[in-house]
Amino acid sequence: MNSILRPLFFALIVRPLMMVVLGTNVRRHALLPKEGPALIVANHNSHLDVFALMNILGLKPLASVRPVAAADYFMTRPFRRWFATRIVGIIPIDRTKSRRGDGGHHPLEPISEVLRDGGIVLLFPEGTRGEPEKLDAFQAGVAHLARRHPEVPVTPVFMHGLGKALPKGEAILVPFFCDVFVGHPLDSTLPKREFMAQLSKSFENLAEELPPKEWI
């Protein structure tokens, strides 16, 4: 990653965008991890989701924050690859590999390496951007990571508004207020099925904190 351009980009472009143009309200900010290793799981409706999360984490831990992203999208074009890896700092994951990749390596191993190095990983368990403000089913990769790293806190974060500000397939930003709800860390010691049920229930509870009129 570029140690100079990255903080400048987030301080001079992302922060004004999220705080002034869109507006961001965070509930229970104190529950966000201050340092790694840590795993933040969030819903995914827009490319802005990553920038919103990195913005509310602040500039101090920025060097250790690594969003998980699809290699088949971000690594295909030179400028997109440079921006994604050098400025955003993504962990590129090949979504075509379900269990074992080349050489017998587990596809989640790049994420594990970042966690072992003390990084803060941003993961979107829906797997891809869905319809604006609609939760899709969560994939089980987050449960496998929790089982691999039971000592790493897993913090759920529910975001609302960014799917309307910049939905999938759109290129024009529409000013729309963003609400962020931070949940309590999950129990990483639970078996896979129980962990996924806990994760889904946590997001349901966080979504219920929105006033009903927000969904109209």
Q: What is the pLDDT of residue 197?
A: 95
Q: Helix/strand/coil (H, E, C) string of 61-122?
A: CHHHEEEEEEHHHHCCCHHHHHHHHHHHCCEEECCCCCCCCHHHCCCCHHHHHHHHCCCEEE
Q: Which fold has domain 5-211?
A: Glycerol-3-phosphate (1)-acyltransferase (3.40.1130)
Annotated domain spans of the chain:
5-211
- pLDDT at residue 167, as a whole number: 63
Pick the more confident residue, 53 or 132.
Answer: 53
Q: Return the number of other C-beta atoms located less than 10 Å from residue 20's C-beta.
A: 10
Q: What is the pLDDT of residues 56-66, one digit of tens each?
A: 999 999 999 99
Per the prediction, the chain carries an average pLDDT of 86
* pLDDT tens digit sequence for 107-147: 899 999 999 999 999 999 986 655 656 677 888 999 999 99
Residue 193 has pLDDT above 90, yes or no: yes
Q: Of 73-87, 147-161, 178-192, which gets the smallest average pLDDT?
A: 73-87
Element (H, E) at 196: helix 192-207
Q: Identify the H or E element spanning 27.
A: strand 24-27
Average pLDDT (3-11) is 90
Q: Which helix (H) or strand (E) holds 42?
A: strand 38-42
Q: How many residues does the chain have?
A: 216
The Cα–Cα gap between 82 and 186 comes to 34
Q: What is the predicted pLDDT for the residue at 24?
A: 87
Maximal CA-CA distance, the chain: 51
What are the angstrom distances between the C-alpha of 12 and each of 6, 40, 144?
10, 24, 37
For residue 104, pLDDT beyond 70: no
- Residue 169 — pLDDT band, cuts 50, 70, 90? low
The predicted pLDDT at position 215 comes to 45
Eight-class DSSP state of 132 = T
Element (H, E) at 141: helix 141-148
**Model pLDDT for residues 17-44, shown as the tens digit of each residue:** 888 778 889 999 999 999 999 999 999 8
